[in-house]
Structure 1
Amino acid sequence: MGKIAFVFPGQGSQMVGMGKSLADQHEDIRTMFNQADEKLGYSLTDIMFNGPDEQLTLTTNAQPALLATSMAVLKRFETVGVTPDYTAGHSLGEYTALAAAGAITFEKAVVAVHQRGKLMEEAVPAGLGAMAAVLGMDRDALEEEMIEISRSGAIVAAANYNCPGQIVISGSKEGVEKASERLKEKGAKRVIPLNVSGPFHSPLMKPAAEKLRVVLDAANVQMSNVPVMANVDAKPVTDAETIKENLVRQLYSPVLWEDSVNALLNEGVDTFIEIGSGTVLSGLIKKVNRRVRTFAVSDEESIMKTAAALKEETK
Structure 2
Amino acid sequence: MKSIFLFSGQGAQFKGMAQDIVEKYGSARALIKNIGDITGEDIEALLWHTENEVLSRSDKSQLAIIAVETAILAVLKEKGVSPSAVAGFSLGEFSALYASGILSFEDMIRIVQKRGRIMQAACDKIAARASEGSGALGMSAILKLDPEKVIELLKPHSDPKTGIVFAANMNSPVQTVISGTAEGLSLAEELCKEAGAKRCVRLAVAGPFHSPLMGEAAKEFEEVLKGFEFKNPEIPVFSNVTGKKVKSGEEARANAVLHLTHPVLWTSEEKEIASLCEDLKPCRLLEIGPGNTLCNLWRDSGFASDELTCSPTGTLEQLNKIIE
Give, in whole Å, the separation in 2 of the partners of 1:187 and 1:10: 28
**1:125-172: CA deviation from partner (whole Å, max 9, x where unpaired):** 214311000001112211111112347x65111010001110000011
SS in 2 for 1:13: coil
Indicate whether 1:272 and 2:273 are aligned: no
Structure 1 counterpart of 2:319, one-letter code: I
What does residue 237 of structure 2 align with? 228
Indicate whether 1:290 and 2:304 are aligned: yes
Deviation at 1:258, TM superposition (A): 1.1
Q: Structure 2, unaligned stretches of length 5 or more?
A: 131-135
**1:237-294: CA deviation from partner (whole Å, max 9, x where unpaired):** 1411011011111111100111101111112354111111111100101110231211
Structure 1 counterpart of 2:126, one-letter code: P
Q: Is the 8 A contact 1:225 1:238 kept in 2?
A: no
What does residue 104 of structure 1 align with? 103
Structure 2 counterpart of 1:280, one-letter code: T
**1:285-313: CA deviation from partner (whole Å, max 9, x where unpaired):** 111023121111124432231234xxxxx
Picking from 276, 294, 298, the partner of 1:281 is 294
What does residue 36 of structure 1 align with? 35
TM-score by length of 2: 0.89
Q: How many aligned positions are there?
A: 306
Deviation at 1:10, TM superposition (A): 0.3
What does residue 90 of structure 2 align with? 91
RMSD of Structure 2 on Structure 1 (CA): 1.7
What does residue 79 of structure 2 align with? 80
Q: Structure 1, unaligned stretches of length 5 or more?
A: 309-315
What does residue 26 of structure 1 align with? 25
Structure 2 counterpart of 1:206, one-letter code: G
Give, in whole Å, the separation in 1 of the partners of 2:289 and 2:121: 27
Give, in whole Å, the separation in 2 of the partners of 1:129 and 1:300: 37
Deviation at 1:198, TM superposition (A): 0.4
Higher mean C-alpha deviation, range 229-238 or range 90-99: 229-238
Give, in whole Å, the separation in 2 of the partners of 1:154 and 1:255: 18
Q: Is the 8 A contact 1:171 1:203 kept in 2?
A: no
Give, in whole Å, the separation in 2 of the partners of 1:74 and 1:93: 12
Structure 2 counterpart of 1:132, one-letter code: S
Deviation at 1:29, TM superposition (A): 2.3
**1:187-228: CA deviation from partner (whole Å, max 9, x where unpaired):** 111100001010000111112112112222223222221111
Higher mean C-alpha deviation, range 156-165 or range 216-225: 216-225
SS in 2 for 1:235: coil
Q: Is the 8 A contact 1:8 1:93 kept in 2?
A: yes
Q: Is the 8 A contact 2:57 2:120 kept in 1?
A: no
Structure 1 counterpart of 2:276, one-letter code: E
What does residue 147 of structure 2 align with? 139
TM-score by length of 1: 0.92
What does residue 52 of structure 1 align with? 51
Q: Is the 8 A contact 2:168 2:179 kept in 1?
A: yes
Q: Is the 8 A contact 1:131 1:170 kept in 2?
A: yes
SS in 2 for 1:267: helix
Q: Is the 8 A contact 1:4 1:86 kept in 2?
A: yes
Q: Is the 8 A contact 1:47 1:55 kept in 2?
A: no
Matches within 5 A, 1:1-315: 3-123=2-122, 124-126=125-127, 127=130, 128-150=136-158, 154-268=163-277, 270-288=283-301, 289-291=303-305, 292-308=308-324
Q: Is the 8 A contact 1:154 1:174 kept in 2?
A: no
**1:25-52: CA deviation from partner (whole Å, max 9, x where unpaired):** 2333222212222322231320211221
Structure 2 counterpart of 1:272, one-letter code: L
Q: Is the 8 A contact 2:165 2:179 kept in 1?
A: yes
What does residue 311 of structure 1 align with? none
**1:22-77: CA deviation from partner (whole Å, max 9, x where unpaired):** 32223332222122223222313202112211221111110011011000001101
Question: Structure 1 pair 27/307, CA: closer, same or farther in 2 (3 Å)?
Answer: closer
Q: Percent identity?
A: 34
SS in 2 for 1:158: strand
What does residue 133 of structure 2 align with? none
Give, in whole Å, the separation in 2 of the partners of 1:44 and 1:58: 15
Q: Is the 8 A contact 1:163 1:258 kept in 2?
A: yes
Give, in whole Å, the separation in 1 of the partners of 2:187 and 2:232: 43
Q: Is the 8 A contact 2:31 2:74 kept in 1?
A: no
SS in 1 for 2:218: helix
